Structure 1
Amino acid sequence: MDDFEPSDTSAYPTFEDFFVRAHKSGSRPIFAEDDLSSAVVVADSRVVVYESVQQSKKIWIKGLDFSITNLVMDNRLGAQFGNGAVASFRLSPQDYHRYHSPVTGKIKLFRSMPGDYYEVDPLAIQSDIDILDRNARDYVVIESEHLGDVLFVAIGATDVGSVKIHDRWQTAGNQIQKGEELGVFQFGGSSIIVAFESGRISFDEDLLNLSKEAIAVDVEVGMSLGRALPGHS
C-alpha cells in the first residue's frame, strides 16, 4: 500500500473505491519519459508480446476467428494493424486497475463497444471462443511521432463493472503523454491489447524471449516495453 494514495486501507469507504485506488506520485517512474521513440508498459499486469498478430494466434490468443479487424470492428483499422506487433496485458482482480498511455502523441480516434464479460485468464484466451472479440471494450488510436499510429484496446472481463476511457481522451486532437492515465476498469479482471503498425517497434528482448515460451511476465506501469525500429526513431 505504500505505492498508493491513500496508503491507509481504512480511508476507502467502499471496496470499489479501494479497487480503483490511484498510485502515489512517483511510485511508478516512467522509463525514458522524454524519449518519444520508446514505449512503456500500460498497466500493472502480466504481459506477453508478439512480433506479429499471426504469431499471437500460434502462441497465446487462439480464438477461432481472432483478428484486429474483429477486435475493433473496423476493416480499415484491421488492415492498418493486421500484420503489426501486439502486446497483450492481463490484469487480475488484485491489480491496480487504472491504465496508461504507452506513447506520447495525439488522439486520432475513440470508440466504445458494448459486449460480454467472459473470463480472460490464460486457459480462456487459449480456448476456441473468441473472447477478446466479444467482450465489452473501449479503444483509442494514438498518433505518435516515432512509433506511428498505436491502437490501445481496453477489454472488460468477468465481474468488471465498466470499461472507461476518460472523457478527455474521447476527443480527437487531444495530446497525451507517455505514462499518462488513459482510463480505469471497475471491479474484476480485464485485459488490454496494444497494437503497433508493422515495422514500427522492437519489443524488449527479455519480453520477446519469454513470450516465445508462452510465459507471461509480471510488469508495472511505466516499465520499458520497446522502442522504434531504425528509420523511425
Structure 2
Amino acid sequence: MTQQSKNSYWQQLKIAFQYMVPQLALTRLAGWFAEKQWGAVTHLAIKAFSAKYKINLQEAEKSEANQYASFNEFFIRPLKADARPINADQSAVCFPADGCISELGNIINGQLFQAKGHFFSLSDLLADDKKSAEAFENGKFVTTYLSPRDYHRVHMPCDGVLRKMVYVPGDLFSVNPFLAQHIPNLFARNERVICYFDTPFGAMVQILVGATITASISTVWAGVINPPRSGKVQQWEYPQDGASAVQLKKGEEMGAFRLGSTVINLFQADKIEFLPTLKATSAVNMGQAMTVSAAMQDSAA
C-alpha cells in the first residue's frame, strides 16, 4: 500500500468514525468528567492536557493547574486583564474568540462557503428562519474555529443589544478543519445557539456551534443553555431598552464553550469590509480587528 493510499484509508476511517461514534453519550461522559472535582487526578489531567496542546497558562488569571477545582473551571479559565487588548477603534469589528479562521467571505444566493467543495444553506443554519436569512442575503460571514488549546470564552465583536436567542438541537460532529472538508452541511447540522443583536453595523448574528465533547454552551444573560437537551428548537426574545435589556459593549464576554467548537458571525450587506490580510487558516485572537475601519476606508477612497 502506498503512502497516499494509507493516508486516504485513515482519512476515510476518521470520517466513518464520526458517523458511528455515539456522539451524545460521549459528550455527556465528557461533561460528567469535566465537572468532577477529583483533586490530584483533576490536576494531573489539566497538566497533561496543557502539555499536549501547549497551553500558555501564564496568561490566565490562575496560572497553576492545582488552582482549578475541575477540568471545566480550567477550560473556561478567564485571562488576565491585559492578555487580549480590544481594538479601540469603534468603527472596527473585532474577532469574538481566539482560534483560526475556517472561512470568511460573502453570502451568495443564500449559501455560505464551508470548505473546499462544500457550501451550506444560510436558512438551514438559522433553523429554517427564512425571514432572517433574507436579511443577511449578500452580506458577509466569518467562521472561527476554536481548537482545544484556545481560550474558550466568547466576546462581543462590537457594541450590541440582544434581540433574540434561539437554541437549535442537532448533531454533535467534531468541527475541526479536516471534518469541515468532508462532512456536508456540518455547521447547519450541529447543535447551536443563535444570538441576534442590533449593532452600529446593522443586524449581526453570533452563532455558537456545538460539537462532539462540547458538553455545554452558556451565555452571560441566560447561563448554561444545554444541557438539558430537549430535542426542540427553543426561542427567547428580549426587550430593546429598560432594565431587562441585554446591552453588551465591544469586547465584553457574551458566552463560553465547555470544550471547544466554532463561532460564526453574520453581517448584513454593505455594512463591513474584512481586512484584506485575513484568509482561511489565519490565526486570530479575541479583540483583534477583523474589519477595515472607517478611517482606512476613507483613505483608500
Q: Provide the aligned C-alpha RMSD in A.
A: 2.3
- TM superposition shift of 1:62: 4.8
Residue 192 of structure 1 is matched in structure 2 by: 263
* TM, length-normalised to structure 2: 0.67
- What is the alpha-carbon distance in structure 2 between the residues aligned to residue 48 and residue 183 of structure 1? 20
Report the CA distance shift for 1:49/1:135 in structure 2 as closer, same or farther (over 3 A): closer
Deviation track 1:49-103 (CA, whole Å, cap 9, x = no partner) reads 5330249855727546x12211011111111113211111001112111101111
> Where does 1:10-25 land on structure 2 (aligned, <5 Å)?
10-25=66-81
Corresponding position: 1:92 with 2:164 = no
Corresponding position: 1:123 with 2:178 = yes
Deviation track 1:141-171 (CA, whole Å, cap 9, x = no partner) reads 11112x1111100001121001222225963
Report the CA distance shift for 1:49/1:203 in structure 2 as closer, same or farther (over 3 A): farther
- What is the alpha-carbon distance in structure 2 between the residues aligned to residue 127 and residue 107 of structure 1? 34
Contact 1:42 1:101 in 2 (8 A): yes
- TM superposition shift of 1:127: 2.2
> Where does 1:2-13 land on structure 2 (aligned, <5 Å)?
2-13=58-69
List gaps (5 residues or longer) in structure 2. 1-56, 224-235, 241-245
Ranges of 4+ aligned residues in structure 1 off by more than 3 Å: 54-59, 61-64, 168-172, 227-231
Letter of the structure 2 residue corresponding to residue 186 of structure 1: R
* TM, length-normalised to structure 1: 0.86
Which of 1 and 2 has greater Rg?
A: 2
Residue 71 of structure 1 is matched in structure 2 by: 125
Structure whose residues are more often strand by fraction: 1
- What is the alpha-carbon distance in structure 1 between the residues aligned to residue 141 and residue 101 of structure 2? 10
Contact 2:175 2:261 in 1 (8 A): yes
Deviation track 1:98-140 (CA, whole Å, cap 9, x = no partner) reads 1011111211211111211101112211225211011111111
Letter of the structure 1 residue corresponding to residue 207 of structure 2: V
Residue 153 of structure 1 is matched in structure 2 by: 207
Corresponding position: 1:179 with 2:248 = no
Local SS of the residue matching 2:182: coil
Letter of the structure 1 residue corresponding to residue 101 of structure 2: V
Residue 288 of structure 2 is matched in structure 1 by: 223
- TM superposition shift of 1:204: 0.9
Report the CA distance shift for 1:53/1:127 in structure 2 as closer, same or farther (over 3 A): farther
- What is the alpha-carbon distance in structure 2 between the residues aligned to residue 193 and residue 126 of structure 1? 16
Residue 135 of structure 1 is matched in structure 2 by: 190
Contact 2:218 2:256 in 1 (8 A): yes
- What is the alpha-carbon distance in structure 2 between the residues aligned to residue 8 and residue 104 of structure 1? 33
Letter of the structure 2 residue corresponding to residue 219 of structure 1: V
- TM superposition shift of 1:226: 0.5
Residue 83 of structure 2 is matched in structure 1 by: 27
Report the CA distance shift for 1:157/1:109 in structure 2 as closer, same or farther (over 3 A): same
Structure whose residues are more often helix by fraction: 2
